[in-house]
Amino acid sequence: MPENISNHLKQFRSDMEKFLSELGDLNSTQIRERSLDRGYYRLAQPEKYGGLNASHLQLAIAREAVASAGIEKTNDVIGPDPGMLAETTKHIESNYLFPMLSGAKTGSFAFTESDPSTPTVAQLMGDYLVLNGRKSYVSGATEADFISVVLNVVSDSVGPSGPAVVIVDTDYEGVYINEPFYSTDGSSHSEVSFDSVKVGSSNIIGEIGKGMPRAMGNIIRERIEQAATATGMAICAVTLVSEHLRMPHRSGGTLGDMEGVRLRYADMRIQTFACRSTLYRAARLMETGEQSINEASSAKLFCTESASSVIDTAIQLVGGRALIVGHPLESLYRRIRSMRLAGGASDILRLGISRGDLEFNSGIL
C-alpha cells in the first residue's frame, strides 16, 4: 500500500482494485459500461460537465491501478478528459466537448510534423481560416470525428498571427487522412494533410498567438498520465515475476531461491518504488497550480525509462515463454517501448528540463 496518501485515497485505490479485479475478460465496450456505471469513467471530467473532478494525485493513482491490473486501454476505464477543449466557447462545448465527453464523438491531436517543407499554417480571412500543411503521426485519426491541430496562423499586417490550435472536422473538404499504420503498442496512426481547408474562426481554441501554452497544457497532462500508466505497468511486471519466482523450477527448487535472481528482482522493486515516489510527488506539485512542466516531464521520462528496464528484466527472468505473443509481459514490452517516444522523446524532454533551469531558472529538485 503506498505511503503518504490520505485514508480517502487509500480507500479509493482499494475499491478501484476490487472493481478492476472483477472485469475478467470483458471487451472494451463492456468495460466502459461497467466503469460508467461505477462512476470511474467520468473521474477526469470537471463537475460542471457532470464529472467527478478527481485531483491529479487521485487520477495518477487511478491510472496506475488500471495499468497494474494489466488492462491495456486505460481510457476504457477512465474516459476522456476535456483536455484543450475545457474553458472555451459555447460553440466548441456544444459541437465538440459535450459530444466527446458523452462518447458520441472522438477527437485526435495533431502536433508532430516530420517534413519541414509542409508546415501546417492557416491564413486568416475575416471570419474563417484556410489551412494547408501535413501532420505525420496522428493517433486514431481514421476513427476521429475531429482533430485539434496545432498550427501557425499567418495574417496580413493588421490581423493577429502566431501559434494556435484549431478544431478541424475530419469530413471537411480538403482533409486527407492516409491509410493507417500501426505501432508496436497496437495503436493506429495516420498522416493527415490539409489542402486549402476552410474552417470557421469559431473553431479556434482560445486566442491566436496563445496556442502553444494550450498545447503545452495538454502535453503536461498527457505526460503525467504516461508516468502513471508506466508505473502501473512496472507494478504489473513485478507482480508477475513475484509469482513466477515462487513457482517450482526445473532446477529442483524455485528461481527465487537463487541469489543472482534475487539481485535482479530487487532492482526491479527498487526502480518501481522510485517510479511511484516520483509520480506521486509530481502529481502533488501539479495540484499546487504552480508551473510544473519540468516536473511532469521528469516524471514521464523517469517512469517510462525505469518501467522499460523493469519489464525487460522481467522478461529475462521469466524466460522464453514471456516472449510468446499473448503473454502479458510480451504486451507490456511492446507498449512501454512506444511510451519513450509518444508525448515527447526522452532526449527532447531532457533538453527541455535543462533549458528550464539554465534559461528560465525554473524547475525544482
Ligand X SMILES: Cc1cc2nc3c(=O)[nH]c(=O)nc-3n(C[C@H](O)[C@H](O)[C@H](O)COP(=O)(O)OP(=O)(O)OC[C@H]3O[C@@H](n4cnc5c(N)ncnc54)[C@H](O)[C@@H]3O)c2cc1C
> How far, in Å, CA of 233 to CA of 181, rounded?
25
Binding-site size, ligand X (CB under 6 A): 20
CB 72, min distance to ligand X, A: 13
- Our finding on whether 195 is near ligand X (CB under 6 A) is no
Residue type at 341 in one-letter notation: L
- Our finding on whether 216 is near ligand X (CB under 6 A) is no
- In the bound state with ligand X, the residue whose beta carbon lies nearer, of 132 and 338, is 338
- Our finding on whether 96 is near ligand X (CB under 6 A) is no
Long-range contact pairs involving 35-43 (C-beta distance under 8 Å, separation at least 24): 35/76, 35/77, 35/78, 35/79, 36/79, 40/16, 40/77, 40/78, 41/77, 41/78, 41/79, 42/79, 42/101, 43/78, 43/79
- Our finding on whether 187 is near ligand X (CB under 6 A) is yes
Query: Taking contact as CB under 6 A, which single stretch among the options 184-192, 195-203, 258-266, 320-328 is the one that binds ligand X?
Result: 184-192
User: CB within 8 A of 117, min separation 6: which ones?
Assistant: none
CB 279, min distance to ligand X, A: 20
Choice from 43, 97, 101, 138 touching ligand X (CB under 6 A): 138
Start-to-end CA span in the chain (Å): 25
Residues 314-343 that bind ligand X (CB under 6 A): 338, 341-342
- In the bound state with ligand X, the residue whose beta carbon lies nearer, of 109 and 146, is 109
283 neighbors 60 (Cβ within 8 angstroms):
yes
- Our finding on whether 111 is near ligand X (CB under 6 A) is yes
CB 343, min distance to ligand X, A: 6
CB 338, min distance to ligand X, A: 4
> How far, in Å, CA of 69 to CA of 61, rounded?
12
Phi and psi for 308 in degrees, rounded to 5? -60, -45
Residue type at 354 in one-letter notation: S
Residues of this chain that bind ligand X (CB under 6 A)? 109-112, 114, 137-139, 183, 185, 187, 189, 338, 341-342, 344-345, 347-348, 351
